Structure formats: structure tokens, C-alpha cells
């Protein structure tokens, strides 16, 4: 009943092709956005903003980037951490060396630099497919991490190899308090998500999916693999690069290249797999799962403080986390996004299922 489309007639093509054709979706999205922009800054405390919501948004963006490449275009990548590092170090160097630039410009340029690097490392995808491509993208991961560790110019000759984000100022306002950091991150993530949503339902997205489903068939119907695959790498790396920049500037504040090691790539890959391959919503659900759950388990563990040994609790956190991942993948191998879809279908019939 809640999701019933019966009686909603589209009278024009634009209405039928709208980004959210069903009013229920439009309304719920509007409510989520109002909540995120207006309610959250008023009610959330610093702990929630700084250590939960900002990393959630940053990871959502990275997962969205990887989802475009892996979920939509079908190119498996393990280089996400590397591309995030490119974005982070590019934004840092732009901010330090060209302080007159606005940070938004920095982030955009950092994203473009990451996109260029992504295209470079995407070239092998024209010849290598599937798991072999995953191994090839590992080269990007290890080379980039090595580069930033070894060449001191990238870290502005910091002796320890750590870069620290400069003070956030934009148009003369100080933006270093948690609420502004959250709001800027939210704005960037919202705009890029909207762009991604539109990309994947346009000709570009359809060509990605065609390549994913069968590249030879796609080539025969006139989709050029070179352009399509490299575009997917470019867009994906752009998103990851911006996410890396946000990670440094709005979340941690100080990172070493090791913050973007292979584990980071795996973490984002798990978000995409758990959230749902080929789904924008899935990127957010997956990021939520991976970011929230360990912290929630850790907090929950504090409740049992007296009952169990502290070291047992720390290890239980990992065990439960791993167990839940397996559980969700068994219950729904297509990810949390598919669970949500099933939920929507049930809501359509509720409360009178067949």
C-alpha cells in the first residue's frame, strides 16, 4: 500500500523518464535530504558529526566511485586506495603550493588529477579482463603508495611522510568546526551522487552496463570499448580522488600514505559488494554497514564491560563483524540494496499480500 504505483499515470515522456518517477521516492528522498541538511546539524553532537557521519559520507563517495567502475562497467579494481591517495595528495599539494585557490577548485582539480591517473592505470583493461584486471589494478595501488612514500616532494618534505590539512577557510569564513565540515562534505557528496545517478541512467551508463554484461556484444552494437572503459575509469577515479581529499581535509586532518594502503581498497570493495553491485543506493548502504557496525559493536561492547575480559571483547568485535558479513551475503548475495528492493516490493502489497 505504501509503495503502490496504481493510479499514478504519466502523461508525458519527461514525467516517465524522471529521475525518481514515483512520488513516494521523491518524498522520501526529500525528507532524507532535509533531515541531513537541516535536522542533523542541529541535533547531532560533535562525536556523531566528526567520527561517524563525515567518514560515512566520505566512504559512501569512494564506494560510489568504485561502484561505477565495478558495479556498472564491470571492471574489477583493487586500486581504490591508490586513487584516493592521488586525490588526497593532489589536494594537499594544491592547497599548500597554490594557497590562493578556493578549496572547491582544489578538490575538483584533485579529482581530475586522480581521473587522469585512473585512465593511465585503466589502459590494461582493454586487454585484461575479470580477476586478471583486479591483479593489474593492484599495480596502481602499490605503485602510488610507494611513490608518495618515497618522493618527499609530494609530502612537502615532511620528515615523517605525514601530510596535514591546512586550516579550512573559504570566502573568508573559518570552516574548521564540525558542523561546517559536515555540511561541506554533505554538499559535495550530494552533488556528485546526483551526477552519478544521472550518469548511470543515461546513454553513458547504459554503455557501461552493456560492456559489463557482454563486451563483444556491446562492441557489435556500436559501443566503443576504449572510450567506455576509460571513461568508467576516469569517472570512478574522480569520485575516489575527491573522497580521498575529503578524507584528509574534513575527516582525519593528518595522513601518511599508509592510510591508503591495500586494506583501504579492500574496505571499499567490501562496501560495494555488501551494499550491492550496480546500485547508487547500495554504495551508501554498504558504506553505512562497514563504517557504523564496528563502532556500534565497540560501543555495545562497553555495555558488557564488567562481564567479559577486555581483550575478549575486542576480538569478539571482529568475530561478530565477520560473521554478520557472511550472514548478509548468504541471506542476500546481491547486497543490501537488493534487500531494500525486496522490502519495497513487499510494501507495495502490504498489508494484504497474496
Partner 1 sequence: MKLRKLSMAALALGLLAAPEAFAQGEQFVPVTIYRTGAYANTGAPLMVGYMDYMAMLNERDGGVGGVKLTWEECETGYQNDRMVECYERLKGKGPTGAAVFNPLGTGLTYAILEKAAADKIPIVSLGYGRTDSTDGRVFPYSFPLITNYWSQSTAKIKFIAVKEGGMDKLKGKKIANVHHDSAYGKETIPVLDEQAKKYGFEVKHYPVAHPGLDQKATWLQIRQARPDWVILRGWGVMSQVSIKEAAAIGFARDKMVGVYWSGSEQDTVPAGDAAKGYISAAMHGSGTAFPVVQDVIRHVYDKGKGNGDKKEIGTVMWNRGIIHGLVNIEAIIVAQAKFGKKPLKGEEVQFGLENLNFTAERVKALGAENLLPPFKTSCRDHEGQAPVKFQQWDGQKWVMISDWVTTDQSIVRPMIEVSAASYAKEKNITPRSC
Residues in the site for partner 1, rule: CB under 8 A?
46-47, 50-52, 55, 96, 149, 159-162, 164, 166-167, 176, 251-256, 258-259, 261, 292-300, 302-303, 310-311, 314-315, 317-318, 324, 331, 339, 343, 346
What cell was used for 40?
542533523
Strand spans (E) along 51-184: 163-164, 169-170, 173-174
Q: Which is nearer to partner 1, 209 or 339 (CB)?
A: 339
Residue 347 CB, nearest distance to partner 1 (Å)? 9
What cell was used for 174?
573559518
Residue 198 CB, nearest distance to partner 1 (Å)? 28
Cβ-based neighbour number of residue 78 at 10 Å: 23
- Give bridge partners of residue 164 from the DSSP assignment: 254
Q: Which is nearer to partner 1, 225 or 253 (CB)?
A: 253
Residue 270 CB, nearest distance to partner 1 (Å)? 15
Q: Which is nearer to partner 1, 12 or 159 (CB)?
A: 159
Q: Which is nearer to partner 1, 175 or 293 (CB)?
A: 293
First to last CA, the chain: 13
- Give bridge partners of residue 163 from the DSSP assignment: 255
Residue 176 CB, nearest distance to partner 1 (Å)? 8
Report the sign of the C-alpha dihedral through residues 75, 52, 178, 190, in that order: positive
Residue 166 CB, nearest distance to partner 1 (Å)? 7
Q: Which is nearer to partner 1, 235 or 291 (CB)?
A: 291
What cell was used for 1?
500500500
Residue 292 CB, nearest distance to partner 1 (Å)? 6
Residue 7 CB, nearest distance to partner 1 (Å)? 25
Cβ-based neighbour number of residue 282 at 10 Å: 28
Is residue 2 within 8 Å of 24, Cβ to Cβ? yes
Is residue 193 within 8 Å of 93, Cβ to Cβ? no
What cell was used for 94?
594544491
Q: Which residue has the cell 586478471?
A: 132
Nearest to 154 by CA among 57, 256, 275, 305: 256
Q: Which is nearer to partner 1, 36 or 112 (CB)?
A: 36
Is residue 181 within 8 Å of 250, Cβ to Cβ? yes
Q: How far apart, in Å, are the Cα atoms of 39 and each of 32, 43, 64, 179, 182?
A: 10, 6, 24, 12, 12
Q: Which is nearer to partner 1, 245 or 255 (CB)?
A: 255
Q: Which is nearer to partner 1, 15 or 254 (CB)?
A: 254
Residue 163 CB, nearest distance to partner 1 (Å)? 9
Cβ-based neighbour number of residue 129 at 10 Å: 15
Amino acid at each position: 500500500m505504501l509503495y503502490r504505483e496504481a493510479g499514478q499515470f504519466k502523461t508525458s515522456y519527461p514525467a516517465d523518464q524522471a529521475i525518481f518517477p514515483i512520488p513516494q521516492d521523491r518524498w522520501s528522498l526529500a525528507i532524507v535530504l532535509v533531515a541531513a541538511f537541516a535536522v542533523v546539524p542541529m541535533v547531532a553532537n560533535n562525536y556523531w558529526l566528526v567520527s561517524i557521519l563525515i567518514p560515512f559520507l566520505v566512504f559512501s563517495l569512494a564506494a560510489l566511485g568504485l561502484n561505477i567502475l565495478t558495479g556498472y562497467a564491470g571492471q574489477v579494481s583493487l586500486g581504490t586506495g591508490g586513487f584516493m591517495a592521488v586525490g588526497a595528495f593532489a589536494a594537499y599539494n594544491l592547497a599548500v603550493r597554490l594557497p590562493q585557490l578556493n578549496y572547491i577548485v582544489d578538490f575538483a582539480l584533485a579529482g581530475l588529477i586522480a581521473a587522469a591517473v585512473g585512465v593511465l592505470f585503466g589502459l590494461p583493461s582493454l586487454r585484461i579482463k575479470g580477476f586478471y584486471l583486479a591483479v593489474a589494478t593492484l599495480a596502481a595501488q602499490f605503485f602510488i603508495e610507494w611513490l608518495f612514500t618515497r618522493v618527499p616532494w609530494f609530502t612537502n618534505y615532511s620528515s615523517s611522510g605525514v601530510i596535514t590539512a591546512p586550516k579550512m577557510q573559504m570566502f573568508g569564513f573559518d570552516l574548521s568546526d564540525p558542523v561546517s565540515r559536515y555540511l561541506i562534505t554533505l554538499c559535495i557528496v550530494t552533488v556528485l551522487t546526483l551526477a552519478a545517478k544521472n550518469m548511470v541512467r543515461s546513454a553513458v551508463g547504459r554503455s557501461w552496463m552493456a560492456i559489463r554484461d557482454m563486451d563483444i556484444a556491446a562492441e557489435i552494437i556500436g559501443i566503443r570499448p576504449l572510450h567506455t572503459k576509460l571513461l568508467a575509469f576516469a569517472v570512478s577515479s574522480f569520485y575516489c580522488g575527491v573522497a580521498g581529499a575529503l578524507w584528509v581535509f574534513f575527516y582525519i586532518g593528518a595522513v601518511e600514505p599508509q592510510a591508503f594502503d591495500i586494506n583501504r581498497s579492500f574496505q571499499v570493495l567490501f562496501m560495494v559488494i555488501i551494499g550491492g553491485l550496480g546500485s547508487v543506493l547500495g554504495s551508501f548502504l554498504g558504506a553505512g554497514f562497514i563504517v557504523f557496525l564496528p563502532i556500534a559493536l565497540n560501543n555495545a561492547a562497553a555495555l558488557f564491560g564488567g562481564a567479559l575480559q577486555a581483550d575478549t571483547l575486542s576480538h569478539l568485535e571482529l568475530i561478530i563483524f565477520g560473521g554478520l558479513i557472511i550472514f548478509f551475503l548468504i541471506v542476500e548475495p546481491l547486497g543490501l540494496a537488493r534487500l531494500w528492493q525486496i522490502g519495497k516490493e513487499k510494501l507495495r502489497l502490504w498489508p494484504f499480500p497474496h
